[in-house]
Amino acid sequence: MRRVYVLYILLALWQLGLEILGVSLIEKEGDMSFAAFTDIQGRFARNHTYLSVGGAGDVSLSFDNSFVVVPARNEADTVGWVLKGLLADGVPPEQILVVDSSSFDDTAKIAADHGVVVIDQMKTIDRHCRRDAFLDLGISFNWSNKLPDMDCGKGCAIFAALLYLGAIGAADDTRIFLLDADIRNLQELNPLRYLVFADEDTDGRLSCIKCGHPKRENEIPLAMWVAAAQTFPAQAERYLPVSAFTWPLCGQMMVRLGALRKTPIASGYSLETVMLMGLLDLVGIDGLGQVWVHGALEDKVGDPPKYIMMYGKIGVMIMRVLQREGGLPGILESGLYTAFNDSLREANAFVTSPDGPNIIARAKPEKLIPPFEFLREACAITFA
């Protein structure tokens, strides 16, 4: 029994340490305390009809004309936690779509046990896509008869969800919530309370960030608004930096279905980065230099190889957007290239592996899945 008490004490001290570390990280990254950040979120919530944040009791949360898409691959340890939170928040189970990406564990079974809609990613894509259309573009199928890079990756999972939503006749103004299946360390079991809904006066691409005090808008780093608007607040992972680029768990966002259909389909974090750039476009790009893009890559040297590759993909996607838009203020292309290359050099063992030379090649724009407009033409479904 004494050992149990000692263990409880150690766990309490560990949690306290994480709390302290989280506050210090946020103050360091954004020059803003945790309390100030939370206060901003509260004021932000009170100016939005559809947002509900812990502590903002006067704000209601509505799930009308909405679906939650949860891409999942081998997430048996966490997907039940996420679904429990969604259901507790009042989301109808038929509006929760868990897209299982060839999981080897019980992810699909756990999702089915919660009564939500479970979509088999590859079977859905194979069922509705005409392969000859891809072959005409020189896109071949691998040994398992799957589309290239479509056996996993969040972009491909979302594409499968689009096929399902098209089949049931979902309209373009339907709100789609993208939610990670591996959320951990939540203070509450209400994940959707930390998501932002779109304003009715936007063009529907992504949530528009608005401040209740216009005079203060320019005083708050844009990265903080990005974090406040489309990632979980500091409560979710409060011991990690909250900038969307510093810790790019930006799978927590909302987008209108019609806008999502126009989004380039990319695998992994590339899709989220494309959507994030759309969000930045909505709020204006004058403050883009305050998003720590360079630091995001630079700070991750020494990380496990898979994360280095992930950040590399993000860097390349940002470069693609920069080139498409003709450059954006506040970001030097050379700085991005330098940070990207430095990160790859740090992962020397990874880069020099047999697969190393293909890392950058896989991240190049021409290797991404074709835009959705093409995919729609290649599929047998007529979308609403």
Q: What is the pLDDT of residues 149-202, one digit of tens each?
A: 444 567 678 778 888 888 888 888 887 877 777 765 443 334 454 444 433 333
Enumerate domains of the chain plus CATH numbers. Answer: 2-268 (3.90.550), 269-368 (no CATH)
Cα(81)–Cα(301) distance, rounded to whole angstroms?
32
Instruction: Supply angle C-alpha 234, 20, 246, rounded to 5.
Output: 45
Q: Under 8 Å CB-to-CB from 26, ≥6 apart: which residues?
A: 32, 33, 34, 37, 234, 238, 241, 242
pLDDT digits (tens, 9 = 90+) for 99-147: 998 888 999 999 999 999 999 987 887 776 666 665 555 554 443 444 4
Cα(254)–Cα(196) distance, rounded to whole angstroms?
7
* Number of helical H runs and strand E runs in the chain: 16, 5
- pLDDT tens string, the chain, 384 residues long: the values are 455 445 445 555 544 453 343 333 333 333 333 344 344 334 433 333 233 333 333 334 567 788 989 989 888 988 888 888 788 777 899 999 999 988 889 999 999 999 999 999 878 877 766 666 655 555 544 434 444 444 456 767 877 888 888 888 888 888 787 777 776 544 333 445 444 443 333 333 333 333 233 333 333 333 333 333 333 222 222 222 222 222 334 455 666 777 667 655 554 454 554 455 544 444 443 333 333 333 333 333 444 444 444 444 444 444 444 445 444 333 333 444 444 444 444 333 333 444 433 443 344 333 334 445 555 555 544 333
Q: Residue 171 — φ and ψ, nearest 5°?
A: -85, 165
Cα(233)–Cα(229) distance, rounded to whole angstroms?
9
Q: Name the nearest CA neighbour of 196 among 82, 33, 66, 78.
A: 66
R_g over Cα of the chain: 21
| Helix boundaries (H) for the chain | 2-30, 34-46, 79-88, 107-113, 121-128, 131-136, 154-167, 222-230, 257-260, 269-283, 293-298, 305-325, 333-346, 348-351, 358-363, 372-378
